[in-house]
Amino acid sequence: MKKVSENKCFGGVQGVYTHASDACSCDMTFGLFLPEEAEDGPVPVLWYLSGLTCTHENAMVKAGAQEWAAEYGIALVFPDTSPRGEGVADDEAYDLGQGAGFYVNATQEPWSPHFQMWDYVAEELPKIVTANFAVDEARQSIMGHSMGGHGALTMAMQLQGRFRSVSAFAPIANPTRSDWGRKQLSAYLGEDEMAWAGHDASLLMRAEGFDGPILIDQGSEDQFIDLLKPEVLAEAMVARRQNGRLRMQPGYDHSYFFVASFMADHVAFHAETLHRR
């Protein structure tokens, strides 16, 4: 692991680091905010998964999460959204390839050699973070935006017991029935739709639910709302009688202005579970 940068931030440190990834077979970059409390021992950790076209940097500089994480003594991890570099497959479209990993393990060529983002985020990066920084692996929560909201919800439901809480901003909620999903899932996982089900938050909610609380915010003026399909996830949450809230926020769109507007609510939501012994 190599340090790219470290900056003082709200009493803590915002760092950026690179490392050689076994899962993705390339170098990967991530951001990590450590609050001041990490100087005295391990702190709880909140994962933030970003959306299409993003890198580790978008949420790190736009979401305003560090201020609230510092208030509650919580670490923030900002993974990248895909493998990158020479020899890594890509596509001319913004919503496939580099910047659009969809948090799955690709089984299809040309994606399978590098696009193992599920293993990277769920297994490899947590081991690197806990081995090198003062974070408490027993106290973890996860959140994300758009494609990252899809990733956060699916990981929380697939990895029961790993995360104490999960939240999402405008998640891609039903990708098996959306153009933001069917295109990518068929490219990465093949045409067998049975293989897609474990990466659809609405299907997982009906089948499994989540063993903790959920918070979802969706902007009513989101320009992509028909692709996101929040109504399908809302129906699944009601059918499951899930402990959770899905809030429609009047006038907000899909941008980081929306994310930053409700970040304080989300960090406070996670802090309640992360500091519960």
Pairing of strands 43-49, 214-219: unpaired
Q: Which residues are part of the catalytic machinery? A: 146, 222, 254
pTM of the model: 0.97
Mean pLDDT of 128-151: 98
What is the secondary structure of 87-148 as a DSSP string? Answer: T----SSTTSBTTB-TT-B--STTTTTT-BHHHIIIIIHHHHHHHHS-EEEEEEEEEEETHH
Q: pLDDT-derived band of residue 4, with 50, 70 and 90 as boundaries?
A: very high
pLDDT at residue 277 tops 90:
no
Domain 2-271: give its CATH superfamily. Answer: Alpha/Beta hydrolase fold, catalytic domain (3.40.50.1820)
pLDDT tens-digit map of 14-58: 999 999 999 999 999 999 999 999 999 999 999 999 999 999 999
pLDDT tens-digit map of 57-70: 999 999 999 999 99
Give the C-alpha separation, 173 to 202, whole Å: 6
pLDDT tens-digit map of 74-128: 999 999 999 999 999 999 999 999 999 999 999 999 999 999 999 999 999 999 9
Where are the chain's structural domains? 2-271
Are 77 and 125 in contact by the 8 Å Cβ rule? The answer is yes
Q: Give the per-residue pLDDT at 276.
A: 87
pLDDT tens-digit map of 159-200: 999 999 999 999 999 999 999 999 999 999 999 999 999 999
pLDDT tens-digit map of 217-234: 999 999 999 999 999 999
